[in-house]
A = this chain, B = another copy of it.
């Protein structure tokens, strides 16, 4: 057990917790036995949830916490009053080197603020960012920031380029991730002053951590030619949610048209076409 990776989990955070958290751990342990879980949450509830799962009981321990940060709480209130919460204690275990990683599916704003309070940021980086893996035609891109920082200056965007590249390299084997700034056009004169200044800086100052590829437009995010897409939290949040809404709209409308008759018709016409194309 000594060499196992210790993952601290806020077992109470988010909708349908702890049930969904426990299911997730079960899936993880079936695939990978190198992990050991520290479950932060109400001891009685958690014990009831894991008692009949030998895989989990033998690869985890429960740390009893009495408070829970709710989704509707403001991040500041949560940070002030949440010192006994499962989320706080899980993050604190990372600071105390009792865990290697901390995970939470709870209140994102609270997670960000409490993490910053307890863990602080790497020297030279003033603001943390929210990043996501965005699917593309080849693999996945890292996109950041997605809402932690509504207003960003040049330094923030330059920092996000380094932070996103570090995340990308830790997830995928790639010595030089391609980084681009999300903008309204590809030409150097496009965009607001902050993005133009960031472009000039990154173009002049070659980083050893990534290759700067200039600008990327919204319609090219999913092409898969850029590994790390950098944007301010306002734009990134709206881009992410618009993509989500578009995907839902298309899949909902597709399902509506997905009835056996239309499928059979599609099959016949495709088959006919195929016969025509054959020599």
Contacts from A to B (Cβ < 8 Å): 135-137, 147, 150-151, 182-184, 191-192, 217-223, 231, 233-235, 237-252, 254, 258-260, 263-264, 266-267, 270-271, 274
Most buried by B among A218, A246, A263, A266: A246
Q: How far is the CB of A132 from chain B (nearest CB, A)?
A: 13
Q: Is there an interface contact between B235 and A222, defined as CB atoms closer than 8 Å?
A: no
Q: Are A245 and B218 in contact (CB under 8 A)?
A: yes
Chain A interface helix/strand/loop/mixed: helix
> A274 CA to B235 CA in the complex, in Å?
44
Number of copies: 2
Instruction: A15 to B267: give the CA distance in the assembly, Å.
Output: 35
Chain B positions within 8 Å of A182 at CB level: 238
Q: How many angstroms from the CA of A251 to the CA of B249 in the assembled complex?
A: 12
Q: A234-B192, A252-B137 are in contact. Are A245 and B267 (CB under 8 A)?
A: no
Instruction: Give chain B residues whose Cβ lies under 8 Å from the Cβ of A237.
Output: 184, 218
Q: How far is the CA of A182 from the CA of B245 in the complex (A)?
A: 13
For A244, what are the chain B residues with a Cβ–Cβ distance below 8 Å?
218-219
Q: Are B242 and A184 in contact (CB under 8 A)?
A: no
Contact A250 B247 (CB under 8 A): yes
| B271 close to A184 (CB less than 8 A) | no
